Amino acid sequence: MMLFFTLFLTVVLAAQVYGAWLNEAQNKESFRFECPQNQAISRVVSEHGNRYEDRKFQFVCSRAPVRSLTSCEWSDFTYTRNKPLHYQCHKSGVITGVYSTYDVKYQDRKFSFQCCSPSDGVVLHACETTSWTNEFDRRQDFKVPVGNVMRGWTSIYNSYKHDRRYAITYCKVGKIVAIDD
C-alpha cells in the first residue's frame, strides 16, 4: 500500500510540474518561466481561448546536450503590436526562459526571451526552422528533437482571429575540434 501511495504521489507531483498552465487565458495574465541551471526549453504547449482572445502556455525543460550553460541574459521585449515576431538568441545562445505580458488594447502578447551560452568549444549548427507548429485557434504542442536546442521563435498575428501561429528554430550541438597539421 505504501508503494502505491508513493507512486501515486510521484505521478501527481510530476503532473503539477509539467501539466500546470503558466497563465490563464481568461485573466490575460503575465508569466515568467525559467529552466533550472543547465537545462533548456524542450517543449512548448499552448492553447488559444476564443472567448478571451488569449493563449495560455506551458513549457518543459530538459538537460541541454552541453556541459554547461552560462552567461544567461534576458532580451528586451520583442513586440510588434499585431505584426510578425522574429527572435533568435545571439551567437550560440539557447532559449532557457520566456517572459510574456498581454496588451489588452491590441489583444496580443509581447515576449522576452532568456538565452544562455553553451560552454566554450561548443557550436550550434544545422539549424532548422519548423513550419507553423499550430493553426490559428488551435493547440500547439512542439517538442525539440533529441540532441537539439531551441534557438529562435517566430510568429505571425491574425487580427481577425486575435491569435498567433508559431515556428521554432532549433539547432544541433557540436564541439569544435582542433585539427593537427
Residues 154-166 pLDDT 10s: 999 999 999 999 9
Amino acid type, 137: D
pLDDT of residue 92: 87
pLDDT range class, residue 14, cuts 50, 70, 90: very low
pLDDT range class, residue 20, cuts 50, 70, 90: confident
What is the average pLDDT across 94-115? 93
Residue that is written with C-alpha cell 537539439 in the block: 148
What is the average pLDDT across 15-38? 78
What is the average pLDDT across 67-89? 90
pLDDT of residue 116: 96
pLDDT range class, residue 178, cuts 50, 70, 90: low
Whether the predicted pLDDT of 7 surpasses 80:
no
Whether the predicted pLDDT of 3 surpasses 70:
no
Give me the residue spans of the domains in the chain. 2-175
The more confident residue out of 21 and 149 is: 149
The more confident residue out of 5 and 116 is: 116
Whether the predicted pLDDT of 9 surpasses 90:
no
pLDDT of residue 25: 66
Whether the predicted pLDDT of 10 surpasses 60:
no
As a whole number, the mean pLDDT across the chain is 86
